Amino acid sequence: MIRFLLTLLAGILLGGVVHLVSVLALPRIATQDAYSRLVPMTKTNSVVALPLTAPNESPMPFMDPAFAFAVCRYDLSTGPIKLAVPVSQAYTSVSFYTRNDVAYYAINDRSAGRRVIELDLMTEAQHAALPEDEDVTAADRLIVDSPTTTGLIMLKALAPEPGEMPQAQASLAASTCKVQTDTPAAKR
């Protein structure tokens, strides 16, 4: 009897370890996470509009049907990315996710404070490699550090009423996301 109880106890303790390891491993081994779902319908380093959220064709669960969505799936291995999103009439926001779907940065039109949300996305190593005076001369440049080399940028524009959806989609269609080929210093 005691032997059986010990067996049970050992099993439960080991089960706790299995539980912790599997919870931590799940984001890495999931095959139906948001990033994996978006890979077939997006292109690397360019903005692709998602279809309107509808009952039977939603790429992900829990998408807000009042919004137009576009995705830039990025890969920073060839250099930093420059993102420009024109602000729509109602509300526009840009959210950044790592390869494992962790939201690490989000900004909306009002906090960007301009007609166009413009920012540079780079890895921490690329940021560190920028010329020293670069940050000072371009103080208005918004630089976002990505924790992972690949990830997702989700662009959203609100259509407060269904009739404004075409405008929201149009403002996202005008946004760009591309690898900076020339050095940032030469551009400005």
Partner 1 sequence: MRLIFTTILVLAIAAAVGLGLTWATATRGTDLGTLTIGAWTAQPRIGTTEINPYARATVARSGELPIGTGDGISFIAKADDKKRPLDGRCDVVVSGVTPAARFWTLTLYDTKGRLVANALQRYGFTSEEVVRNADGSFAIRMAARARSGNWLPTAGIDRYQLVLRLYDTPVGVATRTQRDAPMPTIATAGCP
**Which residues of this protein are in contact with partner 1, per CB under 8 A?**
3, 7-8, 10-19, 21-24, 26-27, 30, 32-34, 36-37, 53-56, 58, 60-66, 90-91, 93, 95-97, 100-108, 110-111, 147, 152, 154, 156, 158, 160-161
As a whole number of angstroms, the distance between CA 165 and CA 40 comes to: 25
Query: Which of 54, 139 has the CB closer to partner 1?
Result: 54
Query: Which of 161, 182 has the CB closer to partner 1?
Result: 161
92 φ/ψ angles, rounded to the nearest 5 degrees:
-130, 140
Query: Which of 149, 180 has the CB closer to partner 1?
Result: 149
Q: Tell the smallest beta-carbon distance from residue 187 to partner 1 (Å).
A: 26
Q: Tell the smallest beta-carbon distance from residue 137 to partner 1 (Å).
A: 26
